[in-house]
């Protein structure tokens, strides 16, 4: 048994630069390695992660006619995802992300939305049949909110569980909040949405209560090396992370989402088990450089 998952989100070409340290304002630094291009975008990352974890995956996205993302389609096909709903924009270029990673594995990311920001509710309607037959639909905030609202409306009417990864974080309209079943922010995104800094387990609980009071059924706050905090009505807790040598944190959160939605409910995998499975997957991702190239297969996760 496998979950059927629709991912609505961004497709970016990641322009990747490795540095010893970040330059200070006005400073120029030499780098030893030239810039490389990789497949990226939170939507594409999550779709690949979901597919590599074994879920039946459909990806809704948009690229430009510039051919920048052509090399990514081989990886999409190899992962086994349905790419029938990756559309071409008539007016916008393919989205890009400019990523710098330092010697400690920390990253900074600047994103140009491009064609991702041209996704419309009408584009989403083209994939309505796939949304209606899914177990989960997951989205991030690298595509326009009206498109997410339309997708979640279709899902809600069909009894499909909606999952929002509110990244990059921004204040959300009530219409969207009312359509979310599961929300998966990191600690910084949770603070932006709730106004409550995440500093300890008490503040994690306060954040979770904020989301639960909005009618969201499941709250999952990812905390990096500290693990993952979860809350549902009447239950909450902290699931430990796996201690590994971090090389690059890019796509770790996206891998978590993909593994989570692929595993939750499959073979009676409960919430805590799905989070632990997602933590395992993310722990593999951070040990390799790049975004999609670092996302593991289910067989690798199962061997931990």
Is there a binding annotation on residue 39? no
Is there a binding annotation on residue 288? yes
Is there a binding annotation on residue 297? no
Is there a binding annotation on residue 250? yes
Give the three-state DSSP class for 93: coil
Pairing of strands 4-8, 136-139: parallel
Is there a binding annotation on residue 249? no
Distance, CA of 78 to CA of 231 (rounded, Å) = 35
Is there a binding annotation on residue 191? no
Is there a binding annotation on residue 41? yes
Q: Where are the beta strands (DSSP E) in 113-203?
A: 136-139, 161-164, 182-183
Is there a binding annotation on residue 181? no
Catalytic, out of 75, 123, 254, 276: 254
Is there a binding annotation on residue 254? yes
Is there a binding annotation on residue 82? no
Non-local CB neighbours of 95 within 8 Å, separated by 6+ positions: 10, 11, 12, 13, 41, 63, 111, 112, 113, 114, 115, 116, 117, 142
Is there a binding annotation on residue 105? no
Is there a binding annotation on residue 223? yes
Is there a binding annotation on residue 95? no
Q: Are 85 and 61 in contact (CB under 8 A)?
A: yes
Distance, CA of 298 to CA of 62 (rounded, Å) = 27
Active site residue 125: no
Non-local CB neighbours of 158 within 8 Å, separated by 6+ positions: 131, 132, 133
Q: Where are the beta strands (DSSP E) in 161-215?
A: 161-164, 182-183
- Angle (CA) 134 257 281, round 5°: 120
Q: Is the dihedral of CA 93, 61, 293, 20 positive or negative?
A: positive
Q: Residues forming the annotated binding site for substrate?
A: 12-14, 41-45, 142, 254
Q: Residues forming the annotated binding site for K(+)?
A: 248, 250, 285, 288, 290, 294
Q: Residues forming the annotated binding site?
A: 12-14, 41-45, 142, 186, 222-227, 248, 250, 253-254, 279, 285, 288, 290, 294
Residues taking part in catalysis: 254
Q: Residues forming the annotated binding site for ATP?
A: 186, 222-227, 253-254, 279
């Amino acid at each position: 048994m496998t979950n059927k998952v629709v991912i609505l989100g961004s497709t970016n070409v990641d322009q990747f630069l490795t540095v010893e340290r970040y330059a200070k304002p006005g400073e120029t630094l030499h780098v030893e390695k030239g810039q490389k291009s990789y497949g990226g975008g939170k939507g594409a990352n999550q779709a690949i992660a979901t597919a590599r974890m074994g879920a039946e995956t459909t990806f809704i996205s948009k690229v430009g006619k510039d051919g920048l993302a052509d090399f990514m389609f081989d990886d999409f096909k190899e992962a086994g995802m349905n790419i029938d709903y990756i559309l071409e924009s008539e007016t916008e270029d393919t989205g890009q992300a400019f990523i710098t990673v330092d010697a400690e594995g920390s990253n900074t990311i600047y994103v140009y939305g491009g064609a991702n920001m041209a996704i419309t509710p009408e584009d989403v309607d083209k994939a309505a049949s796939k949304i209606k037959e899914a177990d989960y639909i997951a989205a991030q905030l690298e595509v326009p909110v009206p498109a997410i609202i339309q997708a979640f409306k279709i899902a809600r009417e069909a009894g499909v569980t909606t999952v929002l990864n509110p990244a990059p974080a921004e204040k959300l309209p009530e219409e969207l909040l009312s359509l979310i079943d599961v929300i998966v922010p990191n600690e910084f995104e949770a603070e932006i949405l709730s106004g409550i800094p995440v500093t300890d387990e008490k503040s994690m609980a306060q954040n979770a209560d904020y989301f639960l009071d909005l009618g969201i059924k499941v709250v999952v706050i990812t905390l990096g090396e500290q693990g993952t905090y979860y809350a549902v009505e009447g239950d909450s807790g902290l699931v430990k992370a796996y201690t590994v040598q971090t090389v690059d944190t890019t796509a770790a959160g996206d891998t978590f989402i993909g593994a989570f939605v692929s595993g939750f409910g499959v073979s009676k995998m409960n919430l805590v088990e799905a989070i632990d499975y997602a933590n395992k997957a993310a722990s593999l991702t951070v040990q390799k450089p790049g975004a999609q190239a670092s996302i593991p297969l289910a067989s690798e996760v199962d061997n931990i």
